[in-house]
Amino acid sequence: MTARLRSRIVGVIASHADLDRAMRMRKPPDLFELRLDCLARIVDQLEHKVSRLRAPLIITARHPQEGGANKLSLRQRRDLLTRFLPHADYVDVELRSALGLRSLLKLAEQKNVRRIISFHNFKSTPPARILLAKARAAEARAANIFKVATRTDTPFQLARLLDFIANKEVDLTISAMGIGKLGAISRVLLARAGSALVYAAVAEGTDIEGQLSLQQLRVLGIASRR
């Protein structure tokens, strides 16, 4: 089985303000995620500034049905990801997009860019057996990490995520997080349970319900203090 390692903290850059703040950070997180779907209108500026980010990069251009901004087509998303692939240490592609972006995933593998295959459900948390099936599908797409983000408004929904991450049948590195009323506590509990990546806003205040900031994670003793 895949060993559970220390959680790494990912600072999410989803706006020009986030980018400026991230570049000024004296204590950056373990990784930054570039939400290219959110940053699509400033990609020229982003390309000139990306080398000033002092942490490895995850790039993603989210599918519109899984929270993606700007209603980007598959082709637009592929073009963005391909453009920024030389800067990336990881590329994140939704499981639903993996077939359509298979050439990009293959290119990433050839360039030693690790693959995160993700699944987002903003309405509910499926049973652990469904999440297990999706993890296996991600593994079949040569994922290095399976990322799952689901609705956690109730203890029952949160328990499903905790059951999934504790499942010994999952032979794949897992990053799991909740969204919603119990989103914040879910990120703390799932980090303690072995979630490989913990995502956080680079600044206080976020549009994602339940997402903590890097500073809040540090106060809770989860974020790296490098």
Q: Is 129 a domain residue? A: yes
Do 83 and 50 touch, CB atoms closer than 8 A?
no
Predicted confidence (pLDDT) per residue in 207-219, tens digit: 677 788 898 888 8
Q: Is 89 a domain residue? A: yes
Q: Is 190 a domain residue? A: yes
Residue 141 belongs to a domain with what CATH number?
3.20.20.70
Query: Which residues make beta-bridge pairs with 200?
Result: 11
- Please report the pLDDT score of residue 151 as a whole number: 96
Structural domain containing residue 141? 8-219
Given a cut of 70, whether residue 36 has pLDDT beyond it is: yes
Given a cut of 70, whether residue 157 has pLDDT beyond it is: yes
Predicted confidence (pLDDT) per residue in 166-220, tens digit: 887 878 999 999 999 999 999 999 999 999 999 999 987 666 777 888 988 888 7
Residue 168 φ/ψ, nearest 5 degrees:
-75, -10
Q: What is the mean pLDDT of residues 102-113?
A: 97
Q: Which residue has the higher pLDDT, 221 or 177?
A: 177
Find how far residue 193's CA is from the centre of its chain. 17
Q: Is 1 a domain residue? A: no
Residue linked to tokens 């490098």: 226
Q: Is 45 a domain residue? A: yes
Predicted confidence (pLDDT) per residue in 129-145, tens digit: 999 999 999 999 999 99
As to burial, measured by CB atoms within 10 angstroms (0-12 exposed, 13-18 middle, 19+ buried), residue 30 is: middle
Q: Is 2 a domain residue? A: no
Given a cut of 50, whether residue 3 has pLDDT beyond it is: no
pTM (2 decimals)?
Answer: 0.93
Residues above pLDDT 90, as percent of the chain:
82
Residues above pLDDT 70, as percent of the chain:
95
Q: How many CA atoms lie within 13 A of 47 on its CB side?
A: 12
Given a cut of 70, whether residue 162 has pLDDT beyond it is: yes
Q: Is 226 a domain residue? A: no
Q: Is 3 a domain residue? A: no
Average pLDDT of the chain? Answer: 92
Given a cut of 50, whether residue 71 has pLDDT beyond it is: yes
- Please report the pLDDT score of residue 190 as a whole number: 94
Q: How many domains does the chain have?
A: 1
